[in-house]
Amino acid sequence: MIRPRQLVAAGLSAAVGVLIASGARAQDRVAGGRIEISAGVMWAGHSSLGSAAATETAPSGRFTLFSTSTDLAAAAGVEARVGVKVTPVLELEASSSYVRPRLDTAVSGDVENGAAATASESFRQFAVSGAVLVNVARWRIGRRATPFALAGAGYLRELHEGDTLAVGGQTYFAGGGIKYLLASRPHRLKGVGVRADVRALVRRKGVAFDTNLHTMPVVAASLFVRF
């Protein structure tokens, strides 16, 4: 005999079970597949890399010969990544990117009235990074689009102009984006979609003349496939 209280409890349990199963199916429809490989383009925004002055020793203090201010110009590049779904919500990603930015050092305030000038060099930047990505299913848009948040860290390898000198640096980033599933199927290739994300990236060292942290925006778009 089933008492009313037990009936209520069983009903609640069943309802929760249905809700969980329903949520899992919804997740599967959006995210289906455990491994995701993507490739696309990225754009890294401008970043100020600080200033430095050429100074000489004076009888009392320093004497400025001229001043410099260095910027990392915005540049476009390519990016590829591999993600592994750990849970329906959580993914781990490894990515690499290549960009060819320009370093601009503006020179001004020359003590002997040398004309202001900008000294530049182009360099090659390779980066590898790891990130944790969280799919935010509750903010899902329709049945195909899932927002996500991500955060990670990486290593920079930058080659100065002519590949004459290599320097290393670190990156840290956080941001978010959206994945849109274009097609899904219950086969080996479980889905194809597009992804867009925006990150705030903090970089340290590399071609920068100082060891401070410098922030820049990064926007990326890519095509992904799931297995």
Partner 1 sequence: MSRQRADRRRAPSIALATALCLLVAQSQPAFAYLKLGVTIDGQPKTLKWTQMPVQYFVSDTGVPGVSSSDFEAAVGRAFDTWQAVPTASIAYQFAGITTARPLDDDGRSTLGFLSRPDLDRVLASTDFLVDQTSGALLEADIFFNSSFQWSVAAAGEPGKYDLQTIALHEIGHLSGLGHSAIGETELLPDGGRRVTAAEAVMFPIAFPPGTITGRDLKADDIAGISDLYPDGDFSSTTGSISGRVTMDGQGVFGAHVVAFDPANGRLVANFSLNEQGQFSMAGLSPGPHIIRVEPLDDADLDSFFDTSLDTVDLDFRVSFLNRLVVVPRGGDSGAIEIKVVPK
Q: Which residues contact partner 1 by CB under 8 A? A: 52-59, 62-63, 65-66, 68, 70, 103, 105, 107, 110-115, 117-121, 160-162, 164-165, 167, 207, 209-210
How far is it, in rounded angstroms, from Cα 97 to Cα 152?
A: 14
Rg of the chain over CA atoms, in angstroms? Answer: 25
Give least dist CB 206 to partner 1, A. 11
- Whichever of 29 and 102 has its CB closer to partner 1, that residue is 102
- Whichever of 39 and 52 has its CB closer to partner 1, that residue is 52
SS3 content of the chain, % helix, strand, coil (to 5): 15, 65, 20
Alpha carbon of 102 to those of 69, 128, 180, 197: distances in Å?
Answer: 14, 20, 33, 23
Give least dist CB 74 to partner 1, A. 18
| Residue 115, SS3 per DSSP | coil
- Whichever of 33 and 101 has its CB closer to partner 1, that residue is 101
Alpha carbon of 179 to those of 72, 132, 139, 197: distances in Å?
Answer: 30, 15, 12, 9
- Whichever of 87 and 211 has its CB closer to partner 1, that residue is 211
| Residue 18, SS3 per DSSP | helix
- Whichever of 63 and 98 has its CB closer to partner 1, that residue is 63
Give least dist CB 68 to partner 1, A. 5
Beta-bridged to residue 91, according to DSSP, are 85, 133
Give least dist CB 115 to partner 1, A. 7
Give least dist CB 78 to partner 1, A. 24
